[in-house]
Amino acid sequence: MTLNGYCRFLTICTLIFPKTLCFLPKQQRVLLLSFDGFRWDYIYKFPTPSFHDIIKNGVHVEQITNVFITKTYPNHYTMVTGLYAESHGIIANEMYDPVLNETFSMNHMTIYNSKFWEDAYPVWITNQMQGHRSGAAMWPGTDVQIHGAFPTYYMHYNESVSFEDRVAKLIEWFISEESINLGLLYWEQPDEKGHLWGPNNPRMKAVIAEIDELLDYLVQELKKAKLWDTLNVIITSDHGMAQSSADRIIELDQYVDKDLYTMIDHSPDVAILPVEGQLDAVFSALVKAHPHMTVYKKEDIPYRLHYRHSSRIQPILAVADEGWEILQNRSDHFELGNHGYDNILPDMHPIFLAHGPAFRKNVSKQTMESTDLYPLLCYLLGIEPLPNNGSLEHVKDLLVSAAPKEPLDRHQEESYAYYSGIVLGSILVLGFLVMFVKHLTRSQVSAMWIQNTEIAQPLLQS
């Protein structure tokens, strides 16, 4: 076989088995996007063609079990650390740390107190410590100096900055000379409107339609920047949303003297700090006060919630049943939609879908834990994860590079074809290498023989 023949052979192998021949693939890049409060079933309740197009060409997990409490800050920090709230320390949107004697509140500048965030290392810091660059557009915590570091590029949180401007900035970072390999993008909706109207309100249809359009905008902009086919894009959320009602309110003033405690976090999970010496009195007054409110002492909070082992978790925790609200009295702020309930409840679960070169196509699975996202991110970025509560094994069946232990129901043929292709492609490549070496050896021997023959010939006589 001539050298041109070998080249044609290699070209055919590359066309038929492109993934098999990628011995040194480019480093994977990741864009992680969170639509705050996007409940898992919104894509079934309302028309969402952009979401469904990504599902058709990527992967989809139907039920994500997020962490308790099912609120914004705890879950966004879980996604980027792989830790339960009790371990990473951001246990609520409103917290009091008795060791620091300081308060954390998402409604005040106290969220920028680094001390609250430093029980963990978020993925953007780990990514940078291992030699890469990160960029963040409004992701909770990314404009806080954690362990002395910010993301390589980041935007200070400003709700008035449009989705389009956030996308433009991230694309700029991905294509710049000193480009990022990890981008994080956050959008406030549909959480805000879900609180205002409740998830069952017909007006939510327009809200979800607008988000679907924003997702399409992102896809089109990534395509224009020639990033869509090379970037792994993960679309998820922090929690879902439940419908509340003015007819389902529990007033603590009816059961216990308000001077005996301080309410730290608010409905539907109320963190209660009793006045010194009044713990048992407050607990006794509340423990059986209302059939739709469960009250725990800290040490009795169910283990499955992973919500005991932090000094920021208060001595008493009151949790409302889904759809119920716990207020001090009816003068407190009340919303028609809320979250924070038990993380076992489907209405608290977020969405998860992904598209990119690392992910399989048109593959769905039933469940995963939100803690599993962190080891998945680290795997895609090629960085070493820190100790965490997640497991890459739980999500490897979403990836092109790893076969599921049990074939997914609708895609057995795809899986078999893919791995058969790898085996056959490997055999062909090995055969090519053997023949190529033989060709080079023979060529060198022939050249040496010709050269030696020419030297041995007598000069032509004139």
Q: How many other C-beta atoms are found inside a 10 Å radius of the C-beta of residue 214?
A: 19
* pLDDT at 454 exceeding the cut of 90: no
Which one is predicted more confidently, 186 or 451?
186
Give φ, ψ of 267 to 5 degrees. Answer: -45, 145
Q: Which amino acid is at 11?
A: T
* pLDDT at 65 exceeding the cut of 90: yes
Average pLDDT over residues 157-180: 97
Predicted pLDDT of residue 402: 64
Residue 70 known to be catalytic: no
| 8 Å CB contact between 235 and 187 | no
Q: Which of 20, 48, 70, 72 is catalytic?
A: 72
Predicted pLDDT of residue 108: 81
Average predicted confidence (pLDDT) for the chain: 87
* pLDDT at 62 exceeding the cut of 50: yes
Predicted pLDDT of residue 151: 98
pLDDT tens by residue, 340-397: 999 999 999 999 999 999 999 999 999 999 999 999 999 999 999 999 999 999 999 9
Q: How far from 419 is each of 19, 408, 425, CA to CA, in Å? A: 11, 14, 10
Q: Residues, the chain, total?
A: 462
Q: Among 9-18, 159-168, 392-401, 417-426, whose mean pLDDT is lowest?
A: 9-18
For 206, the token pair is: 């327009």
Q: Which residue has the tokens 């100790």?
A: 387
List Cβ neighbours of 243 (8 Å cut-off, separation of 6 or more): 198, 199, 200, 323, 336, 337
Average pLDDT over residues 14-30: 50
Q: CATH number for the 249-338 domain, one of 3.30.1360.180, 3.40.50.2300, 3.30.1240.10, 3.60.70.12?
A: 3.30.1360.180
| 8 Å CB contact between 316 and 282 | yes
| 8 Å CB contact between 76 and 88 | no
- Residues forming a β-bridge with 317: 271, 296
pLDDT tens by residue, 239-294: 999 999 999 999 999 999 999 999 999 999 999 999 999 999 999 999 999 999 99
* pLDDT at 22 exceeding the cut of 50: no
Instruction: Please tell me the distance from the alpha carbon of residue 352 to that of residue 186, in angstroms, as a whole number.
Output: 14
Predicted pLDDT of residue 106: 84
* pLDDT at 3 exceeding the cut of 80: no
Q: Among 28-32, 178-182, 379-383, 423-427, whose mean pLDDT is lowest?
A: 423-427
Report the percentage of the chain scoring pLDDT > 70: 81
Predicted pLDDT of residue 430: 56
Q: How sure is the predictor about 129, in pLDDT bands with cuts at 50, 70 and 90? A: very high
Q: How many other C-beta atoms are found inside a 10 Å radius of the C-beta of residue 438?
A: 11
* pLDDT at 158 exceeding the cut of 90: yes
Q: How sure is the predictor about 109, in pLDDT bands with cuts at 50, 70 and 90? A: confident
- This prediction has a pTM of 0.82
Structural domain spans, the chain: 24-83+120-243+344-399, 249-338
Q: CATH number for the 24-83+120-243+344-399 domain, one of 3.40.50.720, 3.40.50.12160, 3.40.720.10, 3.30.300.30?
A: 3.40.720.10
pLDDT tens by residue, 293-346: 999 999 999 999 999 999 999 999 999 999 999 999 998 989 999 999 999 999
pLDDT tens by residue, 402-439: 644 444 443 443 444 444 444 455 555 455 454 544 54
Q: Among 57-61, 108-112, 253-257, whose mean pLDDT is lowest?
A: 108-112
Residues 221, 224, 225, 229, CA torsion sign: positive
Q: Among 12-21, 216-225, 414-423, 429-438, whose mean pLDDT is lowest?
A: 12-21
Q: List the one residue out of 299, 283, 245 whose CA is nearest residue 267.
A: 245
